[in-house]
Amino acid sequence: MPFHISRRTLIKAGAALPAGWFFTGPASSSHASPAKGLKADVIIAGGGVGGCAAALSACRLEKKVVLIEPTAWIGGQLTSQAVPPDENPWIETFGGTASYRNFRTRVRDYYRRNYPLTAEAHALAELNPGNGSVSRLCHEPRVALAVLQEMLAPYMSNGLLAILLHHRPLKAETNGNRIQSLLVRNELTGNEMTLEAPFFLDATEMGDLLPLAGVEYVTGTESKKETGELHAPEQADPQNMQAFTACFAMEYREGEDHTLDRPAEYDFWRSYIPALDPPWAGPLLSLTTTHPITLEKRPMQFDPTVDKTDGPNLWRYRRIIDRKNYAQPSRFADVSLVNWPQNDYWLGNLYEVPEEEAHSHLQRAKQLSLSLLYWLQTEAPRRDGGTGWKGLRLRGDLVGTEDGLAMHPYIRESRRIRAEYTVLEQYVGKQARAECFGVSQEGISAEVFNDSAGIGYYRIDLHPGSGGKNYIDVESLPFQIPLGALIPIRVENLLPAAKNLGVTHITNGCYRLHPVEWNIGESAGALAAWCLQHNWTPREVRNDPSRLAQFQSYLKDTGIPLEWPPEARVR
């Protein structure tokens, strides 16, 4: 993990600082002093999936990058939010950038190099460390962290990349249509510094730079009148955002008692019946949920002692350690990552509300997750007729926290730029596209964007939101990422590098997952570096056919596919 070291320590040791770099010391250092500023080619706010990919691609073009991250870990969804990757069916051979698939290969290689796998598991080309049912690659957050650090290490060593952990943006200085600098704070020391660069990338989980820099943006749901989308509501609701989740990892120890102290809000969550439209299936803390597609009641099973049950087994859903993969399984316990419908929090939002209110919602989301675990330990019905699994135990060590919950909530929906081009449901949704053009859904494909900067695929999967609406989960089509969705309508030197691109509340549902966010970040980082290299603006790249062709050729040469092969394009 990158660490902070004081300038004084480096000078005393006779070390040479990379040109322009300046690190503050840790909170415990008596020599810590505030750094006045850093200059770079590209400043990336947010070290999540998109931020890491953006840093890789900008450094690939030999641009100096400063990456700031508010938590102790880079990696976002993959690490600090503790969410194994949700991916498309083709991801093993296609459907992602070369660097994303390289990341996946490195995760498997990390297990092969460092874990006592069985010979059979070691030989599996498509090793799934946890054998979870949600992904072909259910792995531990710390492994993703190690792999991302490994991929970024050469650029840190040669002085192109500085990673500032525990740093949060506070204020942006602008001049007309350009951002000039960003003031950031070290959350451990309180020290502040100013970051200057010709380009700024917003890879934060909630689009934090957009309001700071006065960038035009959208939140919540747009109206049907505005977008014409099939599943858009009649009235816009800027506060209706998808649920967020305080994820956690747990293992099961047969015959042991690891029951939590009763959570402070347990009585509330135990009796809570969601008032959603259409209605939820019943009490939230139960093994009956709402099916996201049909909205009918969906009975689930939970049994940490077996893989298969007579219904979907939540234990296996996001399992990240399967001890059967190990040569001495008795030395390991299965570990499951809990990101379930039962701990989605939709009673309020983390942004576009006062800070105290956001903090309250975060604490309540944590209480919901702890209440879910306590319910599983004490009251959950067992298939043998008993109740509760006292041997369930939090694994905070695997997510890097003392309270056992992921260090950052899993954010599904961000602020979104008002972009040169906005992706609507009728461009990528199967039913919406068929109805828009009055054709059959059979053999239909997504809109073709001549300014494609990548590809992706996931269902339009919208979790219940703070506006009181239940799931919207409908089929999408393998889609492209238009370059116009990465360009704000006014600001010239800010690019979105995560879920904050030009999509709607509806299409966010298929552009928000791991390989797509990686592609967004990688293309945004490449665009910033390419513009610096040629002294162009992103708008000039998009609007000039010759410049666009040059940039797209570069993307393809670096392993970013711009279109789907015919066999995958049609669904």
User: Domain boundary residue among 399, 426, 452?
Assistant: 399
Mean local confidence (pLDDT), 236-244: 97
Angstrom distance (rounded) from CA 393 to CA 256: 9
Domain match, 210 and 289 both: no
Residues 6 or more apart in contact with residue 458 via CB below 8 angstroms: 86, 87, 88, 476, 509, 510, 511, 512, 513, 516
pTM of the entire structure?
Answer: 0.93
DSSP 221: B
How far from chain centre, in Å, is Cα 33? 33
User: What's the mean pLDDT when you consider all of the chain?
Assistant: 93
Task: Note the pLDDT tens digit of each residue in 48-62.
Answer: 999 999 999 999 999
Q: Is the pLDDT of residue 20 over 90?
A: no
Domain match, 440 and 333 both: no
Q: Is 473 a member of any domain?
A: yes
Q: Is the pLDDT of residue 167 over 90?
A: yes
Query: What pLDDT sits at residue 29?
Result: 34
Domain match, 347 and 377 both: yes
Q: Is 133 a member of any domain?
A: yes
- State which H helix or E strand residue 250 sits in: strand 248-252
In terms of Cα–Cα distance, which of 501, 341, 494, 485 is closest to 410?
A: 341
Angstrom distance (rounded) from CA 561 to CA 61: 18
Query: What pLDDT sits at residue 35?
Result: 53
Name residue 539's beta-bridge partners.
Answer: none
Token readout for 349 is: 């939002």
Mean local confidence (pLDDT), 361-387: 97
Q: Is the pLDDT of residue 17 over 50?
A: no
If one counts the domains in the chain, the total is 2
Q: Is 406 a member of any domain?
A: no
Q: Is the pLDDT of residue 1 over 50?
A: no
Q: Is 459 a member of any domain?
A: yes
pLDDT band of residue 569 (cuts 50, 70, 90) is confident
Task: Note the pLDDT tens digit of each residue in 117-137.
Answer: 999 999 999 999 999 999 999
CA atoms within 13 A on the CB side of 534: 16
Domain match, 249 and 306 both: yes
Domain match, 395 and 502 both: no
pLDDT higher for 359 or 437?
359
SS3 of residue 241 by DSSP: coil
Mean local confidence (pLDDT), 490-495: 98
Task: Note the pLDDT tens digit of each residue in 406-458.
Answer: 999 999 999 999 999 999 999 999 999 999 989 988 889 999 999 999 999 99
Query: What pLDDT sits at residue 24?
Result: 36
Q: Is the pLDDT of residue 6 over 80?
A: no
Range of the domain at 382: 244-399
pLDDT band of residue 2 (cuts 50, 70, 90) is very low
Mean local confidence (pLDDT), 222-231: 97
Query: What pLDDT sits at residue 308?
Result: 85
Domain match, 232 and 175 both: yes
Q: Is the pLDDT of residue 180 over 80?
A: yes
In terms of Cα–Cα distance, which of 13, 118, 104 is closest to 53?
A: 104
Mean local confidence (pLDDT), 392-399: 97
pLDDT band of residue 567 (cuts 50, 70, 90) is confident
Query: What pLDDT sits at residue 443?
Result: 87
Residues 6 or more apart in contact with residue 359 via CB below 8 angstroms: none
Domain match, 208 and 78 both: yes
| CATH code of 486's domain | 3.50.50.60
Mean local confidence (pLDDT), 371-378: 98
List the alpha helices (DSSP H) in 429-476.
430-437
Which of 9-18, 194-203, 305-314 has the largest mean confidence?
Answer: 194-203
Query: What pLDDT sits at residue 19?
Result: 43
In terms of Cα–Cα distance, which of 313, 244, 317 is closest to 77?
A: 244
Q: Is 462 a member of any domain?
A: yes
Task: Note the pLDDT tens digit of each residue in 270-303.
Answer: 999 999 999 999 999 999 999 999 999 999 999 9
Mean local confidence (pLDDT), 192-206: 98
Q: Is 405 a member of any domain?
A: no
